[in-house]
Chains A and B, each alone.
Chain A
Amino acid sequence: MKLFGESKVMSVDELNAYRTAYGNPLMKKEIFTTLVVPFMISFFSVYVLTYYWWLSLIAGILGVSYGFIVIMKINVERIYQQESRIQRNRFINTMTGLLANPNETVVTALSWCAKEIAKGELKKELDQLLVDLMDATPKQVQTAFNLLKEKYHKDFVFGLFMDNLVTVMLEGRTDIKKIKELKTWHNDVLEETNIFIQNKVLYKRQFKATTIYPVVVVGILTFARGIDAYLLYYAHNVIGLVCSAILLGALCFYFHSLQKNLADDEVMEVKIWRT
């Protein structure tokens, strides 16, 4: 995912579309963490470095816009992706379980899944798929499944699973083993993704804990020879301002790079294979 450059800023509608896809409306806590906290942090970090309130205010506004444009987008997208991943996994597991029964056809299994298992966006898509499958020619069956496959093209195993469903539907049940293989594969990938996401929480906490050091250093400098000396020597001095700019620039750079790394939850990227 590229954040600056190609990507566009998400509109509020789009954000909400992502959110409501699996029922997760805008929460008060989220507004606090993605808007208020960035404002406070950028305001105070600039204020303790320069003691110009207008400069801090500009920084605060920049912080809020960053929170709104980048952090919120990343959070919303990550929650959506994870939810959708879990739904797909549940779907695959249930389908495999159902198809193990030789009396079930793909359509009956699908309709059961759509009714009982799937939630939110996936449920709608399965309903649509079932409508498309009614009295469909083999060609239409293929295109109906391909729609889903295309939508989740990042989930390679899901695409394969869809292919196998098409095969089962058109050629009759041949071998449930392949589908079972794919199910295990999908479970493996999901498990590793979960570990990745958990580890990231740890890394994020580590990052937060380390930001205490610059605060301590600036605090020591402020009170080392009194606040007047600090203002004279550092805060309102050209050398100090340049150093502060470099420091803030470096911190922003690291923070943004952290956010970019956090955004990427994919543990299986296959470039040369078509799904």
Chain B
Amino acid sequence: MEDLIELPIGKTRMERFWHLVAEQDLFEMVEKSGFGEFEFYLFQKRRMRNALLSTLAAVIPAILLSPWFSLLAIIFFVYSWRNSYTKEKHEYNGLVYEKQISWYVFQRLIVTYLDTNESIITTFRKLLDRLEEGEFKDNLYRLIIDITENPQSVKPYMEFAEVATGGTDDARTFMTSLYNFTNHTSDSSIIDELSDIARKAMMRGIIDIRKHKERPFIMYPTKLTMVNFIPMIGYMAGAAYIILTQNLNNL
């Protein structure tokens, strides 16, 4: 049988260009949000189109007032180009937070539901009832199926830690302890340990949310200080305008 050798398809020049103009972490963000190359190019194209469209806003003042206003086009372009990135980043951060918190809740819940008399599958099923439809629920469902098919293996647990949480060390440790608890010891001291881990993780998560929500507050003084330039400039411009017109009339 002939092996089909798949040649690595190189990127076209345009595609390489999209990668070149992207920010460092943009592709990673798109990837971790569950999208691929195609969506990445789509995003970049749309971004470029919007940025180009925004430059048109500079046309009218450039025609009516002075050609110097066409420089505004560059500012508009940079602004809207950057803006779509920050928006995406914001969305991504929200997603990461949600994922993390779900994971913390999962840890915490599994500890509260874990019972020496019940099998791990029953516990997982209880958790499944609690979840809204979504990626996390699918992952948990897959974990249950994998464990049923292959009860002695640690692999399903590790896979779950990988996909459901992005494979942090904490998640791996937690899932390994869980595996050990179900398959080897069934000792309640492991539950205590797990609950300790879960509690600490949850606490960290809550602190993170709090800090995240406190961040906008820190910027207010800077913003308030910055608006002070507006009346100053207004005063100077007004004075200049009036003095100029008066002097011109006197000529």
Identify the A interface with B (CB < 8 A): 49, 156, 160, 164, 175, 178, 181-182, 184-185, 188-189, 192, 195-196, 199-200, 203, 206-207, 209-211, 213-214, 217-218, 221, 229-230, 232-234, 237, 239-240, 242-244, 246-247, 250-251, 254, 257-258, 261, 264, 267-274
- Among the listed stretches B19-27, B40-48, B145-153, B228-236, which one makes contact with chain A, having 4 or more residues with CB under 8 Å of it? B228-236
Q: How far is the CA of A244 from the CA of B131 in the complex (A)?
A: 52
Q: Chain B's nearest CB lies how many Å from the CB of A134?
A: 28
Q: Decide if A273 touches B241 in the complex (CB within 8 Å).
A: no
Q: Is B112 close to A, CB under 8 A?
A: yes
Give B100 Cβ to nearest chain A Cβ, in Å: 11
Asked whether A233 lies within 8 Å of B235 as measured between CB atoms, the reply is: yes
Which 10 residue pairs of A and B lie closest in terms of their CB atoms, listed nearest first? A243-B234, A203-B217, A233-B239, A237-B238, A233-B238, A210-B221, A210-B224, A239-B238, A247-B230, A192-B206
CA distance A207 to B222 in the complex (A): 10
Assuming A273-B105, A273-B130, is B225 touching A213 (CB within 8 A)? yes
Known contacts A185-B202, A213-B224, A234 near B217 by CB under 8 Å: no
A195-B210, A210-B225, A273-B105 given as contacts; is B217 within 8 A of A257 (CB)?
A: no
Main secondary structure on A side of the interface with B? helix
Q: Select one of A181, A233, A257 contacting B195, CB under 8 A.
A: A181
Residues of B within 8 A of A271 (CB): 98, 102, 132
Find out whether the CB atom of B238 lies under 8 angstroms from the CB atom of A273.
no
User: In the complex the two chains form, is A196's CB within 8 Å of B220's CB?
Assistant: no
By the criterion CB–CB under 8 Å, are B214 and A243 in contact?
no
Report yes or no: A237 in contact with B224, Cβ–Cβ below 8 A: no
> Is B131 a contact partner of A181 (Cβ separation < 8 A)?
no
The answer to whether A210 and B220 have CB atoms under 8 Å apart is yes
**Min C-beta distance of B19 to chain A, whole Å:** 33
- B102 contacts which chain A residues (CB < 8 A)? 270-273
Minimal Cβ-Cβ distance residue in A for B126:
A163
- Chain A positions within 8 Å of B223 at CB level: 250, 254
- Contact across chains for B235 and A234 when beta carbons are under 8 A apart: yes
Q: Are B230 and A250 in contact (CB under 8 A)?
A: yes
Indicate whether A243 sits within 8 Å of B216 (C-beta atoms), given known contacts A269-B101, A273-B130.
Answer: no
Tell whether, in the assembled complex, residue A273 and residue B209 are in contact, meaning their CB atoms are under 8 Å apart: no
Task: Say yes or no: A243-B230 contact (C-beta < 8 A), given A206-B220, A232-B242, A257-B216.
Answer: yes
| 14 A-B pairs in the complex with CB atoms less than 8 angstroms apart | A156-B105, A160-B112, A178-B113, A196-B213, A203-B218, A210-B220, A210-B224, A233-B242, A243-B233, A254-B220, A254-B224, A272-B98, A272-B131, A274-B130
Question: In the complex, which residues of chain A have a beta carbon less than 8 angstroms from the beta carbon of B131?
Answer: 272-274
Residue of B nearest to A163 (CB): B130
